[in-house]
Amino acid sequence: MIIECDIAQTKDSILIFMHDDAVDRTTNGTGKVQNLTWEELAKLKLKDHQDNLTPYHIPTLKDVLAWAPGHAILSLDIKKTVDRELLIKVLKDYNADQFSEIITYNYEAAEYYSQYAPAYRLSVNIRNEEELDLYLSSGIPVHNLKPFVGTRRKDADFYKKLHEHGLIVTLGTLGNIDEQARAKGYKVYEQLLEDGVDIFATDYPLEVAEYFYKE
């Protein structure tokens, strides 16, 4: 299983896992992460999806990198406030290229990480022929590219073309497709597999896994 996780940076340059820019929704604290120190954030407790307070605290990137080997592949979604040089240094200290990938949202970011963190697989937006041509001609090694094709179904021929270049297809089913599957049954995913999707980026990983591995 691949776990997508968001990395943010505190006021005193500690890298932590936090989805939102502020801690108000997910903890019993208030304020933006970038304006709070790690000492302040470490005291907070996390909330669950029903807004109940839990005994758990915000994890640091180092905590998760120490845990991850043998447990999960990490797909790292990096906030704009994160110092890229600091991030790469921490990842290097934990040999994280062995169990993690870096999510990028534009060509500039992909080019940067390809240059300064060349061992990492990069999740890149390849949603159409134009974006495919851009990355194929970029000089970034093809084996380091992991296309994210967006959150809408594409024609099976597009997936086939990606496969012809040795690329793995990731489709974001979170949102509309996930809701269709919950309403109509998880058989919805079977057609996507037949079309050529290799990885589902879903909000319901446990339910999807249970469907496919029920036997």
Kindly give, in sequence order, each residue whose CB lies less than 8 Å from that of residue 52, ignoring residues fewer than 6 positions away: none
In a domain, residue 71? The reply is yes
What's the pLDDT band for 91 if we cut at 50, 70, 90? very high
For residue 30, CA distances in Å to 21, 23, 24, 153 come to 11, 6, 5, 38
Residues 27-32: what's their mean pLDDT? 98
Asked if the structure places residue 120 within a domain, the reply is no
With 70 as the cut, is the pLDDT of residue 6 above it? yes
Q: Is residue 116 part of a domain?
A: no
Give the per-residue pLDDT at 188: 87
**pLDDT band at 173, cuts 50/70/90?**
very high
pLDDT averaged over every residue in the chain: 95
In a domain, 208, yes or no: no
> Starting from the edge strand earliest in sequence, which strands make up the sheet with 199-201, in order?
15-17, 2-9, 73-78, 100-103, 121-125, 145-148, 170-172, 199-201
CATH number of the domain within which 39 lies: 3.20.20.190
**With 60 as the cut, is the pLDDT of residue 2 above it?**
yes
pLDDT for position 185: 84
- Predicted pLDDT at 112: 98
pLDDT reported for residue 98: 97
Q: Does residue 67 lie within any of the structural domains? A: yes
How many domains is the chain partitioned into structurally? 1
Inside any domain, residue 10: yes
Does the pLDDT value for residue 88 go beyond 80? yes
Q: Is residue 41 part of a domain?
A: yes
Stretch 48-63: mean pLDDT: 96
Question: Domain of 59?
Answer: 1-103
Look at residue 60 and tell me if it is in a domain.
yes
Given a cut of 90, whether residue 211 has pLDDT beyond it is: no
Contact of 192 with 173, CB cutoff 8 Å? yes
